[in-house]
Amino acid sequence: MTPSPETAGPIVEKRCFIDVESTGLDPRVHRPWEIAIILREAGMPDEEHVFQLRPDLSAADPESLKIGRFEERFAVPDGVDATWATNGDGTWRLQRHEALWEIQSLLADAYLIAAVPSFDDSMLKALMRDHDRRIRWRYRLICVETLVCGALARPVPYGLKDAADAMGVKYDVDELHTALGDARLAKAVYDAVMAGGAR
């Protein structure tokens, strides 16, 4: 993976491009089953991390599972609670407490960047609070859809796909609604805005 355009200049803040696929939209009853985190730190190549967590499906919304292709893509093997894949270097089998510790460590002191990050933030907070874990990321969230509105002087927010189209960002439609695919697209849209606008 190559460094992003931003890594050429000074960056003090730790940034994480994120996306969550969940069992539904209500953080009171639904939880993440797939979490993608793309870590960006100054002077380092971006790091991609994908976690899958075995969810409680008793209150799951079938439509949410269908959109995220849960039946097709969920790959946590029997006997463990989670998997963790990073930078294409293989997949580790983890118990839930191990996965949560890794997620906490990656997000610690980071600004979260996503399409509608309030949703991902609420789902991650609910997951952490279920297990008495500290919320360690920064409370200011960065929405790439809103950034595109500002860049193009548009008053109504775009969806992620439309924001990418407006900025001339290419993507694979088969990767949409996967945690890593959407995190990658949010990163690409963010970088397009930071580089100076629509291409």
CATH of the domain at 90: 3.30.420.10
pLDDT tens profile 91-144: 999 999 999 999 999 999 999 999 999 999 999 999 999 999 999 999 999 999
- Whether 198 maps to a domain, the answer reads no
- The residue assigned the tokens 């008053």 is 155
- Whether 165 maps to a domain, the answer reads yes
Give the number of domains in the chain: 1
- Whether 116 maps to a domain, the answer reads yes
- Whether 57 maps to a domain, the answer reads yes
pLDDT tens profile 50-99: 999 999 999 999 999 999 999 999 999 999 999 999 987 889 999 999 99
Mapped onto helix, strand or coil, the DSSP state of residue 197 is: coil
- Which residues span the domain enclosing 153? 5-192
- Whether 199 maps to a domain, the answer reads no
pTM of the model: 0.91
Mapped onto helix, strand or coil, the DSSP state of residue 52 is: strand
pLDDT tens profile 147-186: 999 999 988 778 999 999 999 999 999 999 999 999 999 9
